[in-house]
Amino acid sequence: MNILEIRNLTKKFGDFVAVDNMSLSVREGEIFGFLGANGAGKSTTISMIATLLRSTKGDINLLGKSITSHGKFAKTNIGIVPQDIAIYENMTAYENVRFFAGLYGLRGALLQERTEEALEFVGLGDKHKSYPKNFSGGMKRRLNIACAIAHRPKLIIMDEPTVGIDPHSRNYILNSVKKLNEMGCTIIYTSHYMEEVEEICTRIAIVDHGKIIAEGTKEQLKAIITDTKDIWIGIKANESLSIEHLKQIPGVIAVRLEENTVKINSKGEINNLNKIVQQLIKDQIEIRSVEEQAPNLETVFLTLTGRNLRD
């Protein structure tokens, strides 16, 4: 069953189209990864799902109900972890979580229980009375998450929850995302970090210029680019290297030199490794190593969007 369905979603800021006719569905129980470079439109999409922004066009349904006509229902069932930390510095960790959970209708003993539970969950169980202004970046990020989960939403949207934090906090957060998922929450996870997305997400959408340009499991995404391969050849010196000679070899698409590594992108079905090596020997290049790269999401992203995930 789909927990979230987005159809033909568009958001314009003036003439600028931030989200462009996007359609997407997220199934219940998924950890859905949202990959995209800066300005791709991830946060804008998320804001519309969380009813923080009105769409210019298109529909969003949560659990089969339109979020426009069932705003309160949508809000109650969504927990959002904003990209920028959103907590009160002059209120304790406990008061922060309690206040936001209270807005979701929790009261009394239940409110207290859920607040403690959420803090415990993000590893701040011993920091009830501490003020966030004395927290490290990672602790603030974790409190930012606690504030979004205490009301036990069905769908948790995390917008880059691991930006700029230490490895310990990052691991903690990744583990809590998995744990939340095991407890039955569906999660939409946005990140700049390919490894994170690869590690935890069950399905991934690649967003560029407000459009979804690829969608699927990581295996499916990698399969998109099996028609090409990357060959990296380590060489001793590059004075006599002729990139032009290499490009004339059948199947070779692109050649670039990075320090003393020749990186060749070539058609997958043509076996041209012998020819490449022969050409290098002919040009009197001393070969140190040859390796064929397994496709990863980074290359998928690069191939599809023509740019790196991080600038």
Partner 1 sequence: MNILNIAIKEIKAALREKGTFVFMLAFPVILMLILGTALTNVFSSNTPVGNIELLYKNEAASPQLTQYWQGFAKAIEQEGVKITPLAAGTDGKLEISEDRYSAYAELSNEGITYYGSSKQTIESNILQGMLTTFADRYNMAAAALKSDPSKAEAIIRNASAPGEYIRETALNPDKQPGSIDYYAMAMTTMIALYSALSGTFLFRGERIRNTALRLMAAPVSKGEIFAGKVIGCTLINLLCVLAVVLISKFAFQADWGNHFGMVFLILVTEVILAVSLGLGLSYILKGDTSRSVVMIFLQIASFVGGAYFPIMGTDSFLGFVTNLSPLRWANKALAQIIYNDNVAGALPAIGLNVGIAAAFLLIAIISMRRQEAL
Ligand X SMILES: Nc1ncnc2c1ncn2[C@@H]1O[C@H](COP(=O)(O)OP(=O)(O)OP(=O)(O)O)[C@@H](O)[C@H]1O
| CA dist., res. 130 & res. 148, Å (int) | 19
| CA dist., res. 132 & res. 160, Å (int) | 19
State the sign of the Cα–Cα–Cα–Cα dihedral 116, 117, 122, 126. Answer: positive
From the CB of 114, what's the least distance to partner 1, in Å?
Answer: 14
Q: Which of 83, 228, 296, 303 binds Mg ion (CB under 5 A)?
A: 83
Residue showing the smallest CB distance to Mg ion in the complex: 43
Q: Which of 22, 24, 31, 44 binds ligand X (CB under 6 A)?
A: 44
Q: Which of 22, 24, 36, 55 binds ligand X (CB under 6 A)?
A: 36
Q: Which of ligand X, Mg ion, partner 1, none interacts with 95 (beta carbon under 5 to 8 A by kind)?
A: partner 1
Instruction: Give residue 308's Cα distance to chain centre.
Output: 13
Q: Which of 41, 153, 251, 295 binds ligand X (CB under 6 A)?
A: 41
| CA dist., res. 53 & res. 55, Å (int) | 6
Instruction: Give residue 193's Cα distance to chain centre.
Output: 7
The smaller minimum CB distance to Mg ion, of residues 99 and 193, is found at 193
**Strand ranges (E), 223-279:** 228-235, 252-258, 261-267
Q: Which of 6, 31, 35, 40 binds ligand X (CB under 6 A)?
A: 40
Burial of 234 (0-12, 13-18, 19+ CB in 10 A): middle
| CA dist., res. 220 & res. 69, Å (int) | 35
Q: Which of 4, 18, 97, 146 binds ligand X (CB under 6 A)?
A: 18
| CA dist., res. 104 & res. 108, Å (int) | 13
Whether the Cβ atoms of residue 161 and residue 86 lie closer than 8 Å to each other? no
Q: Which of 22, 40, 62, 87 binds partner 1 (CB under 8 A)?
A: 87
- When asked if residue 110 is in the footprint of partner 1 (CB under 8 A), the reply is no
Q: Which of 13, 113, 171, 227 binds ligand X (CB under 6 A)?
A: 13
The smaller minimum CB distance to ligand X, of residues 243 and 304, is found at 304
The smaller minimum CB distance to partner 1, of residues 70 and 263, is found at 70
Query: How open is the CA angle 188-193-194, to the nearest 5 degrees?
Result: 90
The smaller minimum CB distance to partner 1, of residues 96 and 266, is found at 96
- When asked if residue 58 is in the footprint of partner 1 (CB under 8 A), the reply is no
Binding residues for partner 1 (CB under 8 A): 50-54, 71-72, 75-76, 78, 80, 82, 84-91, 95, 99-100, 102-105, 147-148
Binding residues for ligand X (CB under 6 A): 13, 16, 18, 36, 38-44, 83
